[in-house]
A = this chain, B = another copy of it.
Amino acid sequence: MRVELLTVGDELLLGDTINGNAAWLGRRLADHGVDVTRSVVVGDETDVIVEAVTAALGRADAVITTGGLGPTYDDLTRDALAAAAGVPLVRDPELERRLRERAAAAGREVREMALRMADVPQGAGLLRNSSGSAPGLRVELPGGVVYALPGVPFEMRTIMDEVVLPELAGPPEVARRTLRTAGLWESVLAVRLAEIEAMDGVRLAYLPQPAEVRVRVTVAGAGTDVWDRLGHVEKRIRELLGSAVYGVEDETLDRVVHRLLTQRSATAAAAESLTGGQIGAELTAMPGSSTTFAGGVVAYSTDLKRDLLGVPGDLLAEHGAVHPDVAAAMAEGVRDRLGATYGIAVTGVAGPERQDGHAVGTVYIGVAGPGNTRIVTQPKLPVPGPGPETRDVIRRMTVVHALDQLRRALLGLAADPAAELARDDREESG
């Protein structure tokens, strides 16, 4: 089964909107063993949409369109699909009734323009939309089938999961899993995983983000065997990468930390400088985080590191704010003052300017726990020259490193995953 995606909307060509729908659809379909072979974006023009749908069905078995189903006159997907099928648009009385009811419930007349949403290509199927007012459409064309979904991500996803995927996806012919790693560079991963790359029918893809790398494993085959084989491959990868693997699929670092804290009935508190609050924001992203996150202090200025966190004034006077002992004192201070089980702290230089003689990218992380306090020096960035994104990247890397160090402390792991692997290798060969 080959599927192409067609996203409709001038705003995407102009770059006002990033095509998140296509990425979501690609991932969803891949997870169900359906290959997306091409993804096309066109503007709001009926002729162009007709041509793009027809060309796509010349190559693929099905096309999923998103966008162009709304009420305004630049919503042209309905018109294009009717033209491609050579049928007129007809008004669906049931859809019209629902639109009128909705307007009445809101105490207003329905606008004529809004009723366009009740027009469907003659003979088209309606795809139930349990999240919104306009359904998706299913149109059979000579070359294959078109599923037309709304551009609103929430509605698109609902229709996809509830209606389209069950129709499109047979039993998968490949098994895929994404392992999430933190703390090891991509090149280190690639060297360690060379034996996996060499296996027949196994493919690895490295998906780097600041300070973390997702490793996507694909195993070809059929039936339940393929999942067994994937299980074996995953087990071997985990042996090779050790504790650098922190989760699978959508299991982000903040979720892992939230789970570990919950299991231990523990709480965390954050003391931040260069990250400005991003660590706290991550630790409160999960529902229910009020049970695991006590609170935080953003001590951006040196004075506040003393006043709010109790970092000794002479330490700051002697070394400035960017120093390993300051990170440790911040972590202990926030743990103590907020009454949390763990304190996590960061201090460093996000740039663009050097600070107190320290290079951009110099960052120290402190983790204070029930037994002890650890200090970690963040590995220096391969900074892509001074650029507008450097500051953002350093802040993001610092957040990831900090969460990962909290995870490692919670699990009783050594701070450096590479050192741990080197030790394992020595033991294995010795």
Interface residues in chain A, defined as those with a beta carbon under 8 Å from any beta carbon in chain B: 10-20, 22-28, 30, 35-43, 48, 52, 131-132, 153-154, 178, 205, 207, 214, 216, 270, 272, 274-285, 287, 289-290, 293-301, 304, 308, 337-338, 351-353, 384-385, 387, 389, 391-392, 395
Contacts and interface: CB of A to CB of B under 8 A. Distances in A.
Chain copies in the assembly? 2
A352 B287 contact: yes
Given A23-B18, A37-B13, A39-B12, A298 B285 contact: no
A42 B38 contact: yes
Contact of A295 (B131, B300, B391): B300
A279 B297 CA distance: 12
A297 B300 contact: no
B23 A287 contact: no
Contacts of A39: 12-13, 19, 40-41
Given A19-B23, A37-B13, A285 B43 contact: no
A203 to B, nearest CB: 10
Given A276-B283, A290-B300, A15 B19 contact: no
B296 A298 contact: yes
10 contacts: A10-B205, A13-B38, A15-B25, A16-B23, A16-B27, A18-B20, A40-B41, A154-B384, A270-B277, A284-B298
Given A19-B18, A41-B38, A276-B280, A11 B293 contact: no
A46 to B, nearest CB: 15
A41 B6 CA distance: 10
A44 to B, nearest CB: 10
A234 to B, nearest CB: 18
Given A20-B18, A207-B17, A26 B43 contact: no
